Amino acid sequence: MNIINFTPLSALTGGLLIGFAVFLFFIFNGRLAGVSSVASDSFLKSTNRIDNLLFLLGLIIGPILYSLSGNEIESVLTNSLPLIIIGGLLVGVGTKIANGCTSGHGVCGVSRFSIRSIVATISFILTGVVTVLIFGV
């Protein structure tokens, strides 16, 4: 295995920022910061709609501001629009089935020692590992 982008300092910094953001969201809103729940609630529920939309807006604005700082965001993605749409729908169905997404289970749930979140996180990590081994991504 060839480790190309081993960046422990930026990974640690990013992890600390994510953890602090989740902490602040919980302190100020009294609820967890799972992105799929925030996205779903912003369209389906009238309570906390502004907070939810601001949270989602921050997810969009953050990378834009980072790229404007002169740093390049390197990403490899398919150009196939149908594949992107199908993938997005499958992720949405998966988050509904699992009652949460990677941020909800992996960041918020594991930190609360939720057995359901720990099992979900192990499941999606193993699925990612198997996918990489099969497709050599």
Chain segment 8-39, per-residue pLDDT in tens: 898 899 889 988 988 888 888 888 888 888 88
Domain ranges of the chain: 8-72+80-135
Residue with tokens 């997005």: 88
**Mean pLDDT of the region 104-108:** 85
Q: Residue range 107-128: average pLDDT?
A: 88
Give 6's contacts (C-beta < 8 A, 6+ positions apart): none
Query: What token pair was written down for 77?
Result: 């993605």
What is the per-residue pLDDT for 89? 83
Non-local (6+) Cβ contacts of 33 within 8 A are 21, 22, 25, 26, 55, 103, 104, 107, 108
**77-94 confidence digits (pLDDT tens):** 777 888 888 988 888 788
pLDDT given at position 2 = 56
Is the pLDDT at 115 greater than 90? The verdict is yes
pLDDT of residue 14: 87
Stretch 104-116: mean pLDDT, rounded?
Answer: 87
pTM, two decimals, is 0.65
Indicate the average pLDDT of the chain: 83
Express as a percent the part of the chain with pLDDT over 70. 93
Indicate the length of the chain as a whole number. Answer: 137
